[in-house]
Amino acid sequence: MSTEATLLARCESKCELCSSTSSLAPFAVAPQTLITVDYAAMLCDTCRTQVESPEDMDVNHWRCLNDSMWSQVPQVQVLAWRQLTHLSRKGETWANELLDMMYMEDETKNWAEIGMDEDEEKARDVNGVILQKGDDVTVIKDLPVKGSSTIIKQGTVVRGISLDADPRLISGKANGQSMYLIAEYCRKK
């Protein structure tokens, strides 16, 4: 049996993400490039287009992940996790809730993380917005300053931040002191 025929039999001729029956084709799950039974999923045109260009996502289309994230097929789990992660970064709380419920083996989770886009390594605020040098941010909760009894109060504005080699950290001045802050405890102004 050919690879495509095996994939069609596995998915019962339905898109493995949204269950559509139209325009199905095998899709190699990154970082893999070869279409094999172990590294490909059958996707409809809509899912394939949006997986390849996550910035153009139709949020409502991806409500289907509520079902497909429970698939026993690792490559389907990887695609569901990646799409939910993209949606979560766009502020979709329902996607974040599904990510919290989702279970994957460690090997599958590593596969999912390896294939994510380069934005993964950029400093992001609490809402998933990418922070850039010179941005102003607001601290979203009281933060103790390490090695000091000082506390940076919620609502403190840090102007003209700098980025660190560690994408989780930003640096800037607050209350006249230079310090490092964890990016996810800030909100871009």
Interval 155-188: pLDDT, tens? 999 989 998 877 788 998 887 888 888 888 999 9
pLDDT value of residue 115: 67
pLDDT value of residue 120: 52
- Taking a C-beta distance cutoff of 8 angstroms, is the pair 158, 183 a contact? no
What span, in angstroms and rounded, lies between the C-alpha atoms of 77 and 31? 15
Q: What's domain 137-188's superfamily in CATH? A: SH3 Domains (2.30.30.40)
pLDDT value of residue 118: 47
**Nearest CA among 23, 21, 2 for reference residue 12:** 21
> pLDDT 10s per residue in the chain (189 long)?
788 999 999 999 999 999 999 999 999 998 888 889 999 999 999 999 999 887 778 999 999 999 999 999 999 999 999 999 989 888 899 999 999 999 999 999 988 888 675 445 678 888 878 888 899 999 999 988 777 888 889 999 998 999 887 778 899 888 788 888 888 899 998
Q: Which helix (H) or strand (E) holds 65?
A: helix 65-68
pLDDT value of residue 117: 53
What span, in angstroms and rounded, lies between the C-alpha atoms of 46 and 74? 21
What span, in angstroms and rounded, lies between the C-alpha atoms of 87 and 91? 7
The residue written with tokens 């640096």 in the block is 171
Which ranges in the chain are annotated with CATH 2.30.30.40? 137-188
